[in-house]
Amino acid sequence: MSETGTNDDKTDQRLRLLVGLVVMLAAGAAALWAVYAVRVPDPRPPALVLVLLCAAVIATNRLRVYVRVRSSTFGTTWGEVPVLVGLVLLPPVWVLLCAAVAQAVLRTAIRAGARKTAFSVAKEALTVSAAAAVFLAFGIRPHLTTPDLPVAALVVGLLAYALVDDVVFAPILAMNSQLSIGWALRQNLVGKIISHLGQMIACLIVLWVLATDANVMLLLVVPLVVACMHLWQSRTTRTRQERESWQRLAKATDELNAVDLDQVLHSATTRAAQIFSAAEAAIDLTAGGADRTVRATESQVLSDSALVRGTPTPGETTVDLRAHDGGMRVGVLRLRFGGTVRLTEVEQYKLRTFASAVCTAIRNAQAYAELARIAAENEHAATHDPLTGLPNRRQLYERAGRLFTDTGHDGLVALLLIDLNHFKEVNDTLGHAAGDDVLREVARRLSGAAEAGDLVARLGGDEFAVLLAGLPTPALAGHRAAAMLSALEPEIDVDGMLITVEAAGGIALAAGAGSVEELMRRADIAMYQAKRAGEPTTIYAHARDTADVDRLMITGELRRAINEHEFTVDFQPIVDLGTGEVLAAEALARWKHADQGDLTPLQFLEAVERSGQLPTFADAVLEESLLAMQTWRAAGFDLPVAVNVSPRSLLDPSFPAAVLARLEHHDVSPAQLILELTESLTISQIDVVEQTLAELRDAGVRLAVDDFGTGVSSLSVLSRIPVHELKIDREFVAAVETSAEAAAVVRTTVDLARNLHLTVVAEGVDSEPQRRALWELGCLAGQGRLFARPLSAARFVGTLQRGSGGRPGVLASALHEVGAVVRMPARRAAGAGRSSLPHLPA
């Protein structure tokens, strides 16, 4: 019988009823055997034989192989051997009496308690009765001096004995452990089979010696056989339990590799109940401000609620959730067995190992959740105006970009640009706080007047924009704009003063604009035309757009400019912020226009893209960059070069082949080329260019995301584009010393890059304080006027050769040479060599 611990009152009452039923059945069986003894009298066996039988039953029942199930332990014994041998040699009544007496003596000796003693004696009576009944059915007449060797009766009798033992004991184990009876019957099935085989062998040896003329000394072999079988069974059972337990532990550890905290906690509690055979497992989480308790059995989660602090329940086993290094404690793992249980040394080691794995999984999930929260906040901040909560310019551009690329939307699209008249007077007269109140009220009214599908955004200052979608006709844009502006006519109460808001609006239809920038430009022109004319709104007219005429002139000159090499490439060095060493260079295209001077890509790139000259232009820029690299290499500076690439180039399926052909022609390794992608890539564009980017990366070309932090979908872009490098936009770098928000963006970007094994480069580093602040935040590389302005290829080589402080290839003194030694965080990595950009440590 198992050794069980204490249970709740309801379970204890059921156990008493079940034990009482077993005792009553045993009493009935004993009464039947008493009647049988009267009707079929047999001579009383010698007292010594009875004593030996009792001793044998006690000895074999002490040989147990224990298995713990929750708070209960049960085991297989060798008690069947003396009983079966006794049934062959002695009358069944005397065997029954000896077995019952032996159980009573054994249970009394180990102080098992009245209930357990009564149950053990009754169970023994029932099992012996079952085996004796089988022997009677087979017609076996016991004889002490000339016994038979009834193999069939022994086999069936052993099965009957084992079956009755399981049927009587399984409900007790199931009820005590709160498990099903079927589950209890299946426990340690392999161990039982091994035990029964050994018992049968022992019985046959004893009876064969007694039934033949064999030397009686052979009986001494029986204890040896029993001992060997017992050791084998014990070792087999223990090995199997340990193997299954470690397998469950390994599987549980694999399941803990999740980033969702709920999944980690639910998996950890259910697996803990399974691994340690507990009735219930619970985790009290106290780290990270969570304060929650998760309780579960091995099959289901019972509750996930707020933490209720209190003293541990008697019989609970608890372990702190700490890492292997004994670091921060995140909570407590509690195991409840339904009774008092002492874990073995091996189980305690497994419990500590599991607790450490759970601690690590919880901390990882919490860190991921915090990173996701910061990223979500940053992404929201990057796409929303902090004062009014409206979408900002970036989100407006993203929405408009999707409408430009999505041809499946219904109706026309227009942009309404709104500027408040004389708003500066409100700030100058009533103060900026009053001005902020006015802006918030304007935002509220515009949002209220917008229709479903429209996007109201604040572009900055007193300028707002409304993206009108689903217009059935162009004329309706004017009516919708008038309705928006009429919502601003009622006076606004600011600290008891009524203020009237006047505004002017410019409307531009998306049809014919070609791009979001062009749509914005046209709406801006229309808005200023409305201001000059004193009208509420004006619709953009192409005939009155002088700027567009200039753009057409530029478009017409593109082919001549490309053929006559008016496009040049300057290079700005990318420098190790810690050592001042030049690591790479960024190629920056310039147009040496005969009449308008030097033009930047912002002034001509859109015209290049629309003209159909983009492949030729991109090839020319790459050619100039690779020629410059050869010049640097000849001077002893083998530096990678970063070249900006237009999203439209990535839509060209021949682009990767053209790039790789240029690299091969100049004998330049693909790893020496970095293609910089704008982060304003839309998700729809990413779907198209994924294959192109994968082809370039597989060939060894490095990819970078330019102006990181300014796009509308930073994490989405990173999850889809196989990049190597992130470039922090210059607006965050400019404010890194004075703005906690900008510093947080830089820190988050660095942490994100470190986790993704990416490089981080800061753009627009213009002062030493900015350099030092970026360095201390973990950013390793940067470019900007502090080191050098964009230079021609020849001047770039000369600058490298001159260097700084007599050190060629170095453009600034090392930070550790400025004043005291700078102590960096643990994540700081050593500077990389010239051949590649430094990498953040994992």
In 683-772, beta strands by DSSP E: 702-708, 725-728, 759-762
Among 51-65, 182-196, 461-475, the range scoring the smallest mean pLDDT is 182-196
642 and 496 belong to one structural domain: no
233 and 264 belong to one structural domain: no
Last residue of a domain, one of 194, 224, 244: 244
Distance in angstroms (rounded) separating the CA atoms of residues 86 and 135: 11
Average pLDDT, stretch 19-32?
82
pLDDT grade, residue 713 (50/70/90)?
Answer: very low
pLDDT value of position 227: 61
pLDDT value of position 140: 79
809 and 685 belong to one structural domain: yes
341 and 285 belong to one structural domain: yes
Burial of 275-308, coded b for 16+ CB within 10 Å and e otherwise, reads bbbbbbbbbbbbebebebbbbbbbeeeeeeeebe
pLDDT value of position 154: 76
Give the type of residue at 548: D
Residue found by looking up tokens 């440590």 in the block: 841
pLDDT value of position 817: 54
Distance in angstroms (rounded) separating the CA atoms of residues 459 and 646: 25
The answer to whether residue 293 is domain-embedded is yes
**pLDDT of 361-418, one tens digit each?**
888 888 888 888 888 888 888 888 888 999 998 889 888 888 877 765 667 889 999 9
The answer, yes or no, to whether residue 63 has pLDDT greater than 60, is yes
pLDDT value of position 113: 78
Q: Could you tell me which residue, 185 or 12, shows the higher pLDDT?
A: 12
The answer, yes or no, to whether residue 251 has pLDDT greater than 50, is yes
pLDDT value of position 669: 93
Q: What is the CATH number of the domain that holds 495?
A: 3.30.70.270
pLDDT value of position 740: 86
The answer to whether residue 827 is domain-embedded is no
The answer to whether residue 534 is domain-embedded is yes
Closest C-alpha to 553, from 614, 609, 607, 616: 607
| Residue 692 near residue 734, CB atoms below 8 Å | no
* Token code pair at residue 737: 């010393």
264 and 217 belong to one structural domain: no
318 and 344 belong to one structural domain: yes
Q: How many domains does the chain have?
A: 4
The answer, yes or no, to whether residue 237 has pLDDT greater than 70, is no
The answer to whether residue 68 is domain-embedded is yes
pLDDT value of position 701: 93
Three-class SS of 660-680: HHHHHHCCCCHHHEEEEEECC
Closest C-alpha to 537, from 420, 414, 418: 418
The answer, yes or no, to whether residue 481 has pLDDT greater than 70, is yes
CA angle 620, 623, 628 (to 5 degrees): 130
Taking the alpha carbons of 676, 681, 685, 690 in that order, is the dihedral positive or negative? positive
| Neighbouring-strand partners of residue 285 | 292, 331
Closest C-alpha to 639, from 793, 838, 781, 837: 837
pLDDT value of position 457: 94
62: enclosing H helix or E strand: helix 47-62
728, exposed or middle or buried, with CB in 10 Å at 0-12, 13-18, 19+?
buried
361 and 399 belong to one structural domain: no
Q: pTM for the complete prediction?
A: 0.41
**pLDDT of 292-346, one tens digit each?**
888 888 778 888 888 776 556 666 788 888 876 667 788 888 888 766 667 777 7
199 and 265 belong to one structural domain: no
Decide the pairing of beta strands 331-336 and 537-539.
Answer: unpaired
In 338-433, beta strands by DSSP E: 412-421
pLDDT grade, residue 796 (50/70/90)?
Answer: very high
The answer, yes or no, to whether residue 176 has pLDDT greater than 70, is no
The answer, yes or no, to whether residue 714 has pLDDT greater than 60, is no
Alpha helices in 180-306 (DSSP H): 181-186, 189-211, 221-255, 261-275
pLDDT value of position 359: 85
pLDDT value of position 207: 63
Residue found by looking up tokens 């198992």 in the block: 2
The answer to whether residue 764 is domain-embedded is yes
Burial of 199-238, coded b for 16+ CB within 10 Å and e otherwise, reads bbebbbbbbebbeeeeeeeeeeebeeebeebbeebbeebe
311 and 426 belong to one structural domain: no
Q: Give the DSSP per-residue string, 98-140.
A: HHHHHHHHHHHHTT--HHHHHHHHHHHHHHHHHHHHHHHHTT-
pLDDT value of position 344: 73
Q: Could you tell me which residue, 306 or 63, shows the higher pLDDT?
A: 306
Distance in angstroms (rounded) separating the CA atoms of residues 191 and 180: 20
Residue found by looking up tokens 């912002």 in the block: 602
Average pLDDT, stretch 807-827?
64
User: 335 in helix, strand or coil?
Assistant: strand
Q: What is the CATH number of the domain that holds 67?
A: 1.10.1760.20
**pLDDT of 573-631, one tens digit each?**
999 999 999 999 999 988 887 777 777 777 777 667 666 677 888 888 999 999 999 99
| Residue 200 near residue 155, CB atoms below 8 Å | yes
pLDDT value of position 369: 83
Residue found by looking up tokens 């370039």 in the block: 696
Q: At what angle do helices 151-177 and 9-39 cross, to 10 degrees?
A: 160
What is the percent of the chain with per-residue pLDDT over 90, rounded to a whole number?
A: 20
The answer, yes or no, to whether residue 699 has pLDDT greater than 90, is yes
The answer, yes or no, to whether residue 18 has pLDDT greater than 80, is no
pLDDT grade, residue 3 (50/70/90)?
Answer: very low
Q: What is the CATH number of the domain that holds 637?
A: 3.20.20.450
Distance in angstroms (rounded) separating the CA atoms of residues 181 and 259: 38
The answer, yes or no, to whether residue 838 has pLDDT greater than 50, is no
Residue found by looking up tokens 């902020």 in the block: 436
Distances from the Cα of 538 to the Cαs of 393, 411, 509, 521, in angstroms?
A: 21, 21, 12, 14
Closest C-alpha to 487, from 506, 460, 505, 471: 505
pLDDT value of position 702: 94
pLDDT grade, residue 700 (50/70/90)?
Answer: very high
The answer, yes or no, to whether residue 470 has pLDDT greater than 70, is yes
659 and 511 belong to one structural domain: no
pLDDT grade, residue 190 (50/70/90)?
Answer: low
- DSSP annotation of 220: G
Average model confidence (pLDDT) across the chain: 78
Closest C-alpha to 761, from 674, 649, 633, 650: 674
Distance in angstroms (rounded) separating the CA atoms of residues 228 and 335: 36
**pLDDT of 71-130, one tens digit each?**
445 556 667 778 777 777 788 888 888 888 888 888 888 787 788 888 888 888 888 888
pLDDT grade, residue 824 (50/70/90)?
Answer: very low
- Residue span of the structural domain in which 472 resides: 393-544
Q: What is the CATH number of the domain that holds 316?
A: 3.30.450.40
Last residue of a domain, one of 210, 244, 278: 244
The answer to whether residue 326 is domain-embedded is yes
**pLDDT of 514-548, one tens digit each?**
788 888 888 988 888 888 778 888 988 876 665 55
Torsions phi, psi of 764, nearest 5? 75, 35
The answer to whether residue 556 is domain-embedded is no
pLDDT grade, residue 70 (50/70/90)?
Answer: very low
Average pLDDT, stretch 779-791?
93
619 and 749 belong to one structural domain: yes
The answer to whether residue 823 is domain-embedded is no
pLDDT grade, residue 283 (50/70/90)?
Answer: confident
Distance in angstroms (rounded) separating the CA atoms of residues 647 and 684: 11
450 and 364 belong to one structural domain: no
